[in-house]
Structure formats: structure tokens, C-alpha cells
Structure 1
Amino acid sequence: MLKNKKIAVYVTGGIAVYKVCDLVRKFIKAGADVKVAMTASATEFVTPLTFQVLSKNDVYLDTFDEKVSSEVAHIHLADWCDLAVVAPATANIIAKMANGIADDFVSTALLATTAPIFIAPAMNQHMFENPATVRNLTTLQVDGRMIIEPNTGFLAEGYVGKGRLPEPDEILAFIEAGLLEQQIDLPLSTKKVIITAGGTKERIDPVRFITNDSSGKMGYSLAKSASLLGADVTLISTTSNLPLPVNVTRVIVESSQEMEQAVLERFATSDIVIMAAAVSDYRPIQEAKEKIKKTESLLTLELEKTTDILATLGKMKDHQLLIGFAAETTNLAEYAKGKLAKKKADMIVANDVSKSNAGFNSDTNEVTIFTNDQEPIHVSVRSKDLIADEILQVALSKIKK
């Protein structure tokens, strides 16, 4: 969503400036080109050099410091950007923006900006709730500016209140959602997508269970990618510890049986189903109602097979594109091809989970995509977000046929 976007970040004076350093890093990591402008007050908290090093661009400070003689700096920055982000936005800059005041570089450049402007207020709760600030924020919303609601938490003044700058990931998600709403004719805009994520838990007793090392990161990356392509995404997950991607509905389950039920309830109306979860192959035949006490030197558990959800869906599918995962440690291609045929899937995404940079819990992955009508597609090691993008592009090619 932010790849190749030109983002102007306007930093104003507040203790939350330190969070914006990480926000700039996240923009750049997402593929954006970032330029930063700071008010004089902001430089009291973080030096311009910090943002210069992070952004690899000069930082704008003074309206009359024209670095390029052929350009008017504040107009050039306003015209250059695809979107502008004001963070942290103090009550002062909010008041200036609402009333068209332009008395420094930041306020002057913002007044000249025609691109979408996202504002992340951060201040003391009483300042945020002051009628003047409320009035100014309402004016900015009427003007089409997008306001990121501040969080409630421990403030610099030493007490809990509303006014904390949201975390960088929250700001990033808000911006992606805002940009997504402005786009039309996205490739998956009419599609319903089900994605499963995480490792299921099969209860032994109230405090113990059988599970695996799956973190759910790959499934969440796939949900994010599908959402940014315009899909109506339902993420059926065993974990709630990961940030929920924008415009994604999450259904929390625990066991393989719960996951099966959640998928089957939605399968008939879905267009694409991606079984990225690591579903347990076996579960205890009997779940103890109370904690099993340690009485003997050996404990024997009787296990039974769980339902093969992917195979069940393969028999049921009508118009759906069905994608499964094969997490293997040996004979990757052989097992993946066998799974593709046996489960009647349209795609199998196989990865060697014995590799430290491609296995469970890793932020990166390396996969090979198997289909019924073309040679395997190998995707080298990269972030799981980028892997997800590659998988969805192959899926799109199958939908078009």
C-alpha cells in the first residue's frame, strides 16, 4: 500500500516525538520515500540529524532556508508528497491548520498541501478535551483531514488520561485503511477470502494441550495482503497476539474442531480459502475435566486423528480457489505434490520449517508454490509480508482463468 509512496512527515513539539522515529522507519520499510519537516519545538526533543539519518533526506526546518535555489522549499515539499502525516500533532499545530495560519515551515507547507493529510494528535487530556481543540479538530475533519484518535494511557504529567500518541503500527494501519478507502477497482474488491492462522491446541486437561510452533505470522501477512487488494477478509486465528490488519474480521478459535467449524460456516460464500494454519494431526481421545496429577513415572495418552480440513474442503469446493500449506522438513517437492493431488487443492505453498529463516516464528520465509497447471514457483527468502504478496499474485492469476 505504501510502496513507492512519497510521504511528508511533519513533526511538532511533544514528548511523543521519539515514537515518530520508529514511524519513519516503518514507512521506509514499507517501501515509501520519506521527507521530514520539524518545528523548532520538535527539535528540542529529537535532533534533526536523527530524522536525516533515518530518512536519508535533508530535514526541513526554516521557511527561509532554501536549499535549492530553483525551488520554494515549502511549496516543493507540499507538491512532492502523495500524503502528509502530522505526528505528533500538538494543540498548537492543530489550531494553526484549522484556522489557516502559516507562520513557520511546517504550517506553511501544510497550508499548501493538496494531498491527503493524516493528523495524529498527542497532548495532555485536558488540552485535547478543551472546547477550542475539539472545535479545531471538527473543522479539520470537515475539511477532509483524517484524524487518528489518541490512545488512553500514562501521560508525561504522571497520570492516566487520553492523549497518548498511538503506537507506530497503529498509525501505519490507520493510514493504510484511509488510503484503501480512496481506491476503487482493486483486484479482489468483490471477493470474500477466508484465511486460517496459527497452531491449533488440542486439550489434554484444563491446563495442558498439544500444539506446535506456528506463530500465525504467515496467516496474518496473507490477511494483510488480501485486504490491501480489496478483499473482504475473515481471519480464523488461534492467536490474538499479532496486530490485526486493517479491514480484516478476526475469529478466534483454539482447537482443530473449532477451526473446522468456523471455516465450514463461511465456506459456501467464500471465493478464496487459504489454509495457512498449522492444524494438529492428532488430539487426545479423552480430555480430562480436571488437571491430571503426577502419580506414575509414565503417562500414556491415547490420540486420534483430527479431521483433515483441507481435504474436506477439497471434496466440497465448487467455485472456490483452495490454497493449502505444506510445512515440511524433508522431501519438500514430493510431499507438496502429493498433498496437491490428494487434497484436491488448487495451490500448495510448501516451506522447509527446519530452516531458521523460513520456519515457524520467523519474520521471513522461503516457499515454493505448487499448482496443477504450471511449473513450481520458488520464492526466495524475504519478509512474510512480501511472501504473502507473491502468493496472492499467483492466486490472482488463477482467478482470472
Structure 2
Amino acid sequence: MTETPRAPEIVLGVGAGIAAYKVCELLRRFTETGHGVQVVPTADALRFVGEPTWAALSGRPVATGVWDAVHAVPHVRIGQHADLVFVAPATADLLARAANGLADDLLTNTLLTARCPVVFAPAMHTEMWEHPATRANVATLRARGAVVLDPAVGRLTGADTGRGRLPDPDALFAAATRVLRRGSGPGDLAGRRVVVSAGGTREPIDPVRFIGNRSSGRQGYALAVTALARGAEVVLVSANTALPDPAGAAVRRVGSTAELRDAMHEESGAADAVVMAAAVADFRPATTTPGKIKKTGGAPAPIALVENPDILLELTRGRAHDGQVVVGFAAETDHVVENGRAKLARKGCDLLVVNQVGDGLAFGTADNQAVVLGADGSSTDIPTGPKEDLADRVWDLVAERLS
């Protein structure tokens, strides 16, 4: 008789921030998807959301102090039995205590005893997030293998707006599930900065029409989320997508190929790896009509096209440093490997992810399959599966080359 797999155990640490109310919805996501959750709030966190709420949503008593149920040694046991420790909101104070190895309450004791992946989702005012002390504490935690997500930009407490907002529960849940899939051990991209492009560029014909493509951006976003789960600092350059920002990524939104080109050149200078997953329009109208083109009762005037710059080629030729790994994507309708090899030689990138498109393949789907061609002559087949699985395999190949 086959044993039922054990449900993953998550310790949900809650810091003393107003954003704790969002964590209630994250807790619901965990429990509804079969995870066992032990909530460990700090004493001051209970000033924002009370113990009965956490107990009701988790279906378990809340662990609040090292002196509760002392016979069970909670300050050691909770961390030892966890598959993931997820701390949200991670306040500036909590990050400081964790970075310095303090153990003055149950949550910080749990952080010291846990041997599973640890994720911090910071939330605080912009000035606190940007303070050198906080930045040093974040760097320390990341260097030790913890995943520290960058906070989102948006409305903060009161009338303030800026970076420091806790990402939405769906984005936090996606980050947590990707880290759980990676398993134990420090992220192999910890300390690395990666830049990923996603989506499809659009070239305006007139104020209401454009030349574009069918890219949804889902593969690029999967690459961003997976890199975050592996400890990387991620910049996502997003072209015309309707997807929510991945928790922890710095997102730049662009529209045209020219805007994408500028963003990629600006962001790639300090990057260890650059992944061009966006579908870039090869051509653009030679001129853009300032007003909407009207019907005239006859055949429309032809639209003259000119070639767009080759962003991937520019990135490979203008690498910021010798160790930078550049990855390209190629969508082909036939002769996939042959066309991919020729494109790899022209582009000069380290890896080229080649997939077949058309007839419901790749664009706009949850699954993808590809062959990854290497400048070293290697070829890696990735079978059909979730785009997150393909993303993980691509980062495996990138990590090999970075090391």
C-alpha cells in the first residue's frame, strides 16, 4: 500500500508591522493547498492581528513564547521540523535581529534552529529599507543562503508612497511554493544579480494600432520567480504583460523595442546573468501616423517597415565583464535545432533556448518544452512541462557557467 506523501510543514513567522493583515490571506493560501502551518508571531505582531485569528486560519494553536509547553522544547522543535520558514512582514528590527543571530523570542530561536530554506518578505518605510544598516543586514542574510525578497513599490502607512510595501499574498505564495520545490540548502544564485526580459514588444502604427506578437510573458516571469527562489537579486524588464509583479523582483515596464533596448542596456551592466526571454518585434513601421488611420473605401496604403536593432546581439558583443552569462530565446516554427544552431552562432550568446511555436505551442500556455543549445556545443532537451520547470533547468545551466 502506497503511503500518502507528508504535507509540507511551513513555519509562518509574523513580524510587528501593519502589513500583517495581508499575511492572513497568505496563511489561507497555504492551508487551502494542503500545507501544515505553524504560526509564530512576535509579541508585538499580536497588536496588529490577534492570536484567535491566526489560530482559526491555521487550525492550530499559535506558538508565541519560549516558555509555553516547555516540555516540548518549542524553541528548537519548531525549526527542526519545518520544510520552510517564511517570515512576513519582516520588519527592519526583525531583519536586524536575524542577521545578528539574536535569540530573544520564539521566532528568532526558530530561525537559528531551522535547517530548511528561509524566506524573508520585508515591509517597512522606504527610508528604513534604504538605510545602510538594513541594507547590510539584508546582504548578510542573503550571503548565508536566506532568500530576502525586495519589497514592492506602492502606498505605505499613512500618505507615504515608495518601496517598502509587502507584496500581495498571491505573489508571496508563488515565491514560497517555488522555494519549497527547490528543497533544502542555500540558493545557488545567492549573491548573483540577474536581469530577465519578458513579454512581447509592440511597435505603434498609429495611436490605436500596433505590430506585436502573441507572447504572454509567462516564461520570462517563471524565470524571474525561479531565480528569486534560488537567492538571486532579480530585475525583470516586462513588455506589455498582464501578469502581477513577482514578489521580490524589481520590475521595469516597457512597451516598444526601443524602450526594451534602453532598459536592458541600463540594467545589464552590473548583472552576472542576462536572459532575453522577451519576444522582440523584428520590424517596426518606418513612420507612425499621429492620428488614427481611417478607412477610405479602397485598399489601405502599404506600411513600410524597417528592422529593429538586435538587442541580444548587442548584449553579447557589449558584455559588461568576461564572466557575464547571456541567454537568448528563439521561437521557431520548423527545423528547430538547425535554425537554433545557426542563430546561436550569429548571436554569440552562451545559451540559446529554442522552442517550437504555433498551433497552441509555447505562447500563452502554462507548459513549454525546449532544447537548450550551448556555445560549447552542448544540447539539453527539456521535455514538455510547466514553464517553471523549464526555468529551473535553464538556471541550472546558467549556474554551472557562473561557477
Q: Does 1:280 align with 2:281?
A: yes
For residue 362 of structure 1, the aligned residue among 342, 362, 365 is 365
Q: CA deviation at 1:176?
A: 8.4
For residue 23 of structure 1, the aligned residue among 10, 22, 30 is 30
What SS class does the counterpart of residue 390 from structure 2 fall into?
Answer: helix
Q: CA deviation at 1:44?
A: 12
Summarize the alignment of residues 320-399 of structure 1 with structure 2, pairs less than 5 Å apart.
Answer: 320-354=324-358, 356=360, 358-399=361-402
Compared CA separation, residues 9 and 249, structure 1 to 2 (3 A): closer
**Counterpart-to-counterpart distance in 2, 1:45 and 1:238:** 41
Kept after mapping to 1: 8 A contact 2:175/2:228: no
Compared CA separation, residues 330 and 240, structure 1 to 2 (3 A): closer
Summarize the alignment of residues 2-401 of structure 1 with structure 2, pairs less than 5 Å apart.
Answer: 6-8=9-11, 20-25=27-32, 34=36, 80-83=81-84, 114-116=109-111, 168-172=169-173, 186-239=187-240, 241-299=242-300, 300-317=302-319, 318-319=321-322, 320-354=324-358, 356=360, 358-400=361-403
**TM-score, reference length from structure 1:** 0.62
Kept after mapping to 1: 8 A contact 2:25/2:169: no
What SS class does the counterpart of residue 227 from structure 1 fall into?
Answer: helix
**Counterpart-to-counterpart distance in 1, 2:178 and 2:10:** 16
Q: CA deviation at 1:237?
A: 1.1
Q: Unaligned regions of 5+ residues in structure 2, if any?
A: 1-6, 14-20, 40-49, 64-70, 89-104, 112-117, 122-147, 156-165
Amino acid at match of 2:398: A
Compared CA separation, residues 118 and 254, structure 1 to 2 (3 A): closer
**Counterpart-to-counterpart distance in 1, 2:173 and 2:260:** 30
Q: Unaligned regions of 5+ residues in structure 1, if any?
A: 52-58, 64-70, 88-109, 121-145, 153-164
What SS class does the counterpart of residue 396 from structure 1 fall into?
Answer: helix
Compared CA separation, residues 86 and 216, structure 1 to 2 (3 A): closer
- What is the match of residue 101 of structure 1? none
Q: CA deviation at 1:270?
A: 2.5
Kept after mapping to 2: 8 A contact 1:8/1:84: yes
**TM-score, reference length from structure 2:** 0.62
Q: CA deviation at 1:172?
A: 2.4
For 1:50-94, what per-residue CA distance to the aligned partner results, in whole angstroms no more than 9, with x for missing partners?
x9xxxxxxx65899xxxxxxx97999767523556799xxxxxxx
Compared CA separation, residues 347 and 287, structure 1 to 2 (3 A): same
- What is the match of residue 98 of structure 2? none
**Counterpart-to-counterpart distance in 1, 2:379 and 2:190:** 28
Amino acid at match of 1:311: L
Amino acid at match of 2:345: A
Amino acid at match of 2:221: Y
Kept after mapping to 2: 8 A contact 1:9/1:34: no
- What is the match of residue 141 of structure 2? none
For 1:129-188, what per-residue CA distance to the aligned partner results, in whole angstroms no more than 9, with x for missing partners?
xxxxxxxxxxxxxxxxx9x99x99xxxxxxxxxxxx985414426868999xxx997433
Identity %: 30
Kept after mapping to 1: 8 A contact 2:197/2:238: yes
Q: CA deviation at 1:206?
A: 0.8
Q: CA deviation at 1:305?
A: 1.2
- What is the match of residue 142 of structure 2? none
For the aligned residues, what is the CA RMSD? Answer: 4.5
Amino acid at match of 1:313: L
